Chains A and B, each alone.
Chain A
Amino acid sequence: ETGVTQTPRHLVMGMTNKKSLKCEQHLGHNAMYWYKQSAKKPLELMFVYNFKEQTENNSVPSRFSPECPNSSHLFLHLHTLQPEDSALYLCASSQSAQGETQYFGPGTRLLVL
Chain B
Amino acid sequence: AQSVTQPDIHITVSEGASLELRCNYSYGATPYLFWYVQSPGQGLQLLLKYFSGDTLVQGIKGFEAEFKRSQSSFNLRKPSVHWSDAAEYFCAVGASNDYKLSFGAGTTVTVRA
Contact = CB atoms under 8 A, between A and B. Distances in A.
Contacts of B42: 106-107
Contact of A109 (B34, B36, B41): B41
A23 B99 CA distance: 19
Given A40-B105, A42-B103, A42-B106, A99 B97 contact: yes
Interface residues of A, number: 29
A50 interface: yes
A33 B94 CA distance: 15
Nearest to A107: B43
Contact of B104 (A42, A101, A103): A42
B41 to A, nearest CB: 7
Nearest to A50: B99
B94 A99 contact: yes
Interface residues of B, number: 26
Q: Which of B49, B96, B99 has the most CB of A within 10 A?
A: B99
Interface in B6-33: 32
B54 interface: no
A60 B49 CA distance: 29
A90 interface: yes
A74 interface: no
Given A90-B44, A104-B45, A107-B42, A99 B95 contact: yes
B98 A99 contact: yes
Interface string A85-107: 00000101010111111111111
Contacts of B44: 90, 92, 104
B98 A43 contact: no
4 nearest interchain CB pairs?
A97-B99, A99-B96, A104-B43, A104-B44
